[in-house]
Amino acid sequence: MWRLPPAAAMDPADAPLEWTGLPLAALCLGRAGMLELPHPSLLWWRRGGAEIRQRQGVTRPWRVQAREGRFDLVPAGAYEVLGCVGDGAAALALLLPPDCGLPTGAACPARPQFSDPPLARLVMLLVQQQLLHQPYGALVTRGLSAAIVERLHAGTAASGGVFCREVRARLEALIDSRLDEPLPLAVLAAVAGQAPGAFGQAFRSSFGTTPHQYVLERRVRRAACLLRDGAATLTTIAAELGFASHAHFSTAFRARVGMTPSDYRRLEGGDPGAQRGAASGQPRRAHSLMPPAA
């Protein structure tokens, strides 16, 4: 009998970050046997040819002929492998624990042999996150897992072309946590549970600007806080916030604030020379340069 592990299959010694996504397991089936699923599961067949029949755990047993590239959303329970073609079948299994919000037991909606390219992209990105030890961090892992569950709930992450509150919050948190490096559009789209083409329009409808411009705005806002602090050089701030160069930083900052970073620092009191002038009695201009936080 094949049993799926109750937790992620990765060896903790090989994973610098604790895995925070849906449990993943590779599943290889021979010509016959039993398969036991401890939770409702999403099976993504990477090599088809297996014929599977439900044996227990559901009220209406069914059987399917697995085809390569198709998904099966199946309830927890025992399944009989009636046979396989060739070298056997292989699938990637995503276990869906009770806290993911899907119905359990007999109420779990079985969806045999369906095709969903956006779902396939989400799953592939989640697999890459695990295999590469979460290069984009645990926040992306959780976002991808949530997007997969939302997709299985038969809903997309956006309604009427506008992101729901939860998806918007995930995107804001992800962008703010990764201002120091480029975020591929495919990763942002995956966290939102959308294809890259549809994601751009939904992002503009939700945020009023493009993803690239929004990232620049958040970088400039963070830079303004660092400039007021006065501890870091302009070159250091530019590097820490992912700007290509000091000149790129200055251009982006001036376009949004109306003055150079150096001028902003002097006016806001982050420049030690400006602070000495204020202490000697020179007046400071009252102003409000940055718009309120979104």
- The CATH number for 30's domain is 2.60.120.10
pLDDT tens-place string over residues 56-105: 544 455 677 788 888 988 888 777 777 666 666 788 999 988 877 666 55
Domain count, the chain: 3
Residues 204 and 241 reside in one and the same domain? no
Phi and psi, residue 53, nearest 5°: -130, 135
Residues 202 and 123 reside in one and the same domain? yes
State the residue range of the domain holding 181: 119-208
Give every CB contact of residue 113 below 8 A, 6+ residues apart in sequence: 64, 65, 66, 67, 70, 71, 72
Residues 111 and 6 reside in one and the same domain? yes
* Distance between CA atoms of residues 172 and 212, nearest Å: 13
Would 293 be classed as within a structural domain? Answer: no
Boundary residue ending a domain (80, 115, 150): 115
Residues 220 and 201 reside in one and the same domain? no
Boundary residue ending a domain (115, 133, 148): 115
* Distance between CA atoms of residues 43 and 152, nearest Å: 12
Residues 164 and 267 reside in one and the same domain? no
* Distance between CA atoms of residues 36 and 78, nearest Å: 4
Residues 82 and 153 reside in one and the same domain? no
Closest CA to 152 of 98, 180, 185, 110: 110
Other CB atoms within a 10 A radius of the CB of residue 74 amount to: 26
Angle at 118 between CA 178 and CA 110, to 5 degrees: 120
Partner residues linked to 81 by β-bridges:
33, 52
* Distance between CA atoms of residues 231 and 101, nearest Å: 46
Residue-level pLDDT at 81: 76
Would 288 be classed as within a structural domain? Answer: no
Distance (Å) of CA 100 to CA 21, 178, 275, 292: 11, 26, 53, 35
Boundary residue ending a domain (115, 137, 158): 115
Residues 90 and 44 reside in one and the same domain? yes
Under 8 Å between Cβ of 94 and 72: no
Residue-level pLDDT at 16: 53
Helix (H), strand (E) at residue 158: strand 158-159
Residues 200 and 262 reside in one and the same domain? no
Which parts of the chain register pLDDT below 70?
Answer: 1-16, 30-32, 55-62, 83-88, 101-110, 154-161, 270-294
CATH of the domain at 271: 1.10.10.60
Would 272 be classed as within a structural domain? Answer: yes
**pTM for this predicted structure:** 0.57
Would 180 be classed as within a structural domain? Answer: yes
Under 8 Å between Cβ of 61 and 79: no
Closest CA to 120 of 88, 89, 74, 152: 152
User: Tokens 């036991």 belong to which residue?
Assistant: 36
Residues 190 and 240 reside in one and the same domain? no
SS3 of residue 272 by DSSP? helix
- 102's tokens: 């899907």
Residue-level pLDDT at 74: 82
Residues 100 and 38 reside in one and the same domain? yes
Would 289 be classed as within a structural domain? Answer: no
Would 292 be classed as within a structural domain? Answer: no
Residues 130 and 111 reside in one and the same domain? no
Would 285 be classed as within a structural domain? Answer: no
Would 133 be classed as within a structural domain? Answer: yes
Residues 272 and 243 reside in one and the same domain? yes
